[in-house]
Homo-oligomer: A and B are copies of this chain.
Amino acid sequence: MADTSALNALIQGLRRLPGVGVKSASRMAFHLLQHDREGAQMLAQALMQAAGNVKHCALCHTFTEADICDTCQDESRDASKLCVVENPADQSAVERTAAYKGLYFVLMGKISPLDGVGPKDIGLQKLIDRASNGLVQEVILATNFTAEGEATAHVISVALKARGLQVTRLARGVPVGSELEYVDLGTIAHAFVDRR
């Protein structure tokens, strides 16, 4: 494999993908070159297109090719509710429930002091401006229930409540379909506290 600088460049390129080490990258490169050159060209096109065209929605900060994303432009949505999620995958999960008809704000990250990510990096000021537009009456925090997600929710909650906005958090409790015996104790304790 000595003189294949194109192959080596491809392996190095694939290693830029998260979770891909040198072994996986080699396997991917061999697969593409041996069995799927069309796929390689398709992927190259898609990468160029996406890297060039995808930007952030001016309102909700999610990925979009337009200035304002489709969700924010949708006039049938309830503009009095704003759901804060960490990333577009979380937004997509909320959308698939069909239980929420309001608008979104996508942080594109979470506060993580260990990684040097503070309130500025998740666009807290942009969220405050967005939530203070006079239409939003309730901000629903749907960040993940991890240590970083909880910290992020806490920081946002403090900042928004100081400006007189109503802030709620997704309910914590026992997942649908689960048996208490197998649910972790922290979840059961929370479900007791938040009982209704």
Cβ of A187 under 8 Å from chain B: no
Cβ of A88 under 8 Å from chain B: yes
Cβ of A53 under 8 Å from chain B: yes
Across the interface, which residues of B come within 8 angstroms of A134, CB to CB? none
Contact of A62 among B1, B42, B44, B91 (CB under 8 A): B1
Taken together, the copies of this chain in the complex come to: 2
Size of the A side of the interface (Cβ < 8 Å), in residues, is 60
Contact of A3 among B43, B46, B69 (CB under 8 A): B69
Contact status B1-A16, CB under 8 Å: no
A66: nearest chain-B partner, CB-CB: B3
Q: Given A16-B42, A33-B54, does the pair A65, B4 have CB atoms closer than 8 Å?
A: yes
Cβ of A99 under 8 Å from chain B: no
Q: Given A3-B65, A33-B51, does the pair A43, B26 have CB atoms closer than 8 Å?
A: no
Across the interface, which residues of B come within 8 angstroms of A100, CB to CB? none
Cβ of A6 under 8 Å from chain B: yes
Residues of A within 8 A of B (CB): 1-7, 9-10, 12-14, 16-19, 23-24, 26-34, 36-37, 39-51, 53-54, 62-66, 69-71, 87-89, 91-92, 95, 108-109
